[in-house]
Each structure stands twice: as C-alpha cells, then as structure tokens.
Amino acid sequence: MKKQLGLALVAMMAASTAAAVAQNSGAATYKAKCEMCHAADGSGSTPAGKAMKAPPLSSPAIVKESNTDLIAITKSGKGKMPAYTGKLTDAQVKDVVEYIRTLQK
C-alpha cells in the first residue's frame, strides 16, 4: 500500500512539474512572439496591437474558442495576424495557447 501511494505521489509531482514547464515555455514563447502585439496582459494595447486591431485575448469571442481552434489560428494566421507554421513547433504553439488561457482568468 505504501509503495502504491508513493508511486501515485511521484506521478502527481511529475504531472505538476510538466505543467509548470509547459507554462514557463508558453510564457517565454508568448513574450518572444506574441507580446509585441497582444501585450503582456493579453489586452492588445500595444501600439502594434492597436494598429492591427488585435482583440483582447480575454474577449468572449476568443475565450469561447477551443484550444484546437486557437492552435489552428496560431498556425495559419487570421486577419492581420501572421501564420506561425514553420516559425514555432507544434509543442510551442500548444504551450502558448495554454499560457493564453492563464491570461484569460
């Protein structure tokens, strides 16, 4: 019983660490590739964001999008937002979408 409990605890810690790494990776990618238009807080309030009419990432329209949709938008671009296929890996795109979700709270 103690061995099973110990294995469960190790598994939970590993999952927690993986989530933290993904969030840190997503934050770094966001800062490098997204923040110039979308702003540090996701408001789109930067000069570039205002010029491109970047909507706040916390807007109801973006919040209701699924992660799959946000990944597709990031990869293919939308409106004046450029496509990031070939510029970001699939893992980076997934991590940045997960990070965007933290900005929506």
Domain boundaries, the chain: 2-103
How many Å apart are CA 52 and CA 28, to the nearest integer? 22
How long, in residues, is the chain? Answer: 105
Per-residue pLDDT of the chain (105 residues; tens, 9 = 90+): 555 545 554 455 444 444 444 457 999 999 999 999 999 999 999 999 999 999 999 999 999 999 999 999 999 999 999 999 999 999 999 999 999 999 998
Please state at what angle helix 90-103 crosses helix 2-33, rounded to 10 degrees. 90
Q: What is the DSSP letter of 65?
A: S
Q: Which of 70, 76, 47 is nearest to 57 (CA)?
A: 70
Q: What is the CATH number of domain 2-103?
A: 1.10.760.10
How many Å apart are CA 100 and CA 58, to the nearest integer? 9
